Amino acid sequence: MPEVSIIDDEVQFAEMLAEVCEMAGYETLIFTEAGKFLERQKESDIIFLDLTMPDVDGIEVITELGKRQSKAVIVLMSGFEQELLKISQRIAQGYGLTVIDTITKPMNISAVRQILENCRILFK
């Protein structure tokens, strides 16, 4: 079963997203601190990454994932401008990372389900 890591400091949002992922059949972990996620040795298959985090921001996570040559599928999330998502996506792609989609908060649950279905196809 593919593993999803959700990196978001908004606990209620992360829990709601985790519920959607679990209902779609994914094993899900929540990290409210990006630093805790980066301490893990095991790589997740899918990462939902909030770009605005208090301890380590999303760009720092992207940079570290790039250094590790991560093969995870990444979904970038932000409650701010769409431009931030576009810039972050270009940075991630510059590191050779796979960004499958972006989500503007508040999220559209149907869009998340579609993203998860697209990921399922990748892992077959």
Domain that holds residue 91: 3-122
pLDDT single digits (tens) 56-100 = 989 999 999 999 999 999 999 998 778 889 999 999 999 999 999
H-helix or E-strand spanning residue 42: none
pLDDT single digits (tens) 3-56 = 999 999 999 999 999 999 999 999 999 999 999 999 998 999 999 999 998 889
- State the Cα torsion 78-79-84-88 to the nearest 10°: -10
Q: What is the CATH number of the domain that holds 85?
A: 3.40.50.2300
Our count of domains for the chain comes to 1
Percent of the chain at pLDDT above 70? 99
54 prior amide bond cis, ω within 30: no
Query: In the predicted model, is pLDDT for residue 120 greater than 90?
Result: no
pLDDT at 81: 76
